Structure 1
Amino acid sequence: MASRGIVADPYHVWLSEVMLQQTTVQAVKAYFEKFLSLWPTVEDLAHAENEDVMKAWAGLGYYARARNLKKCAEAVANSHGGRFPDTEDGLKSLPGIGDYTAAAIAAIAFNRKSAVLDGNVERVISRLYAIEAPLPAAKPEMRARVAILTPDDRPGDFAQAMMDLGATICTPKRPACSLCPFRAHCRALSVADPETFPRKAQKKEKPLRRGAAFVAIDADNAVYLRKRVETGLLGGMTEVPGTDWTSRQDGDTSLASQPFVAPWEDCGTISHVFTHFELRLSVYRANVARAGTEGDGWWEPVHSLTAQALPTVMKKAITQAIPDAFKAER
């Protein structure tokens, strides 16, 4: 939070808010610092190579955010003179910026009276008013309540204070109600167990998809990698060769789908949970000669794999085949 009288940098606010979507502060901190060291301004990020941005983002997840991050930086640099719009509507016209992010930037960076509603604020508001409607149906009421509470004076500080309150006091489990400034007015505390708020709709079981991943290693201890297509899930990221991910029980997850003929060994299965489905990959490993493996990929030394734009699921697959591949990261 910026100190009173100090205006927050819109670039810093935008970058942090995008990174914090579906991700914890603890996980984001190192990435935020890395991005600012590599690209101190939005113009620097706009002129960065796409591949470098994806590499720097690797491991943070939800990779569409990284692609939109680059597109948004380009839009700000090329169409707005390097300055972020200072209104919610203007901000929402930029790639990857939705209602919440626009409100947060408008309030924190430009001191606009915007209703900022993240997961922490949802929890505070749902308990303060004992909102019975489950998420996400309760969001409109929550946003309306926040709009009423938001003061004309220092709305950005109010937004950050509410987020901090939810993160440190009004926590999901064992909230410190005795320390809460809203204690005397909290309806959930007076009528029910605050931990039961916000109400949540029953979760549907995530569908299961299956696939195979092939980790080829040559005599120089290099791994064969390739780049995924730019569109779709994990678009533009780096991967080891593999099959499509299918929900069919008879999906192609065996050696029959090998990318090239080699003495493949079964290394077992890894699991990874995405937002909308669970993935189980059968992992195979083979020591091969480079001849006969020509294609659209390249050979990357194991010691430099950490510098590649490998998403977590691919790191899991490689680690299943080469246990010490990412030892330096652990």
Structure 2
Amino acid sequence: MTQRCGFVAIVGRPNVGKSTLMNRILGQKVSITSRRPQTTRHQVMGIKTEDETQFIYVDTPGMHIQSRDRNKAINRFMNQAATQALRDIDCVVFLVDRTRWTEEDDVVLDKLTHVRAPVILAVNKVDWLKDKSTLLPWLESLQAKREFAAILPISAKHGTNVPELEAEVAQYLPEGVHYFPEDQITDRSQRFLAAELVREKVMRQLGDELPYQMTVEIEEFRDEGRIIHISALMLVERPGQKKILIGENGERIKKIGREARLEMERALGAKVMLNLWVKVKRGWSDDDRALKSLGYDLD
């Protein structure tokens, strides 16, 4: 049989379910998720090999409108990372949310104007629709937005029509040798995953209280076989944020650490000893040099 291999960018505005979709396709967590917009900050590759076909999905940060409160260096980085993922790809999955079309969906649509690869429109969270009769006329109206290769209603969370979406994508993957071993599922390291899992637990617990001026840096990742020792530094921009993150009598940081450790053990298949620290680093989210040193690097 002929081998096929290609890159598939999953794009959309913030919080439409891009990471949930990629995790569903792969059958395990590679991208972190939360109900908060802009949880994903980096391009993350998810690799799925089925027989002679290798899909290389690229989960991207949500493309958003640059406004006064969204014009920091980190916001610019996320938009650039999402746009960069559209270069040299073989197919695009453009994810939107049910029967809602927003200004930020128009931002994504505009970015796709010059993309030559086929674009599949996936309408997510259709299981949430109370009135299912609104779906068909909505899908028909979307055809006027641009010439899509296909329009599919899906549920990334429950897997509805996801196999059909994968079959649609497979048609557009070119012939070619596989770039990755068949058992590899991501290009990201265990160290990166550990940092992301800590950040996910913070986002889920403190999404409303703690703004996005928080990141995680792994200072130690030591694998001793049965036990992995991990030390993670959580950076915030103000002393008040540090206080929120630690919580009364340290209860908040203990809970974050406990949840992150359990998920790391599931993902890494070993016992994890996790130490968390919090440090104030003023202005890191609007400092290009600081961002690069913290791993926010498009290279």
Calculate the TM-score normalised by the size of structure 2.
0.30
Larger Rg: 1
Which of structures 1 and 2 has the larger relative contact order (alpha carbons within 8 angstroms, sep 6+)? 2
Larger fraction in strand: 2
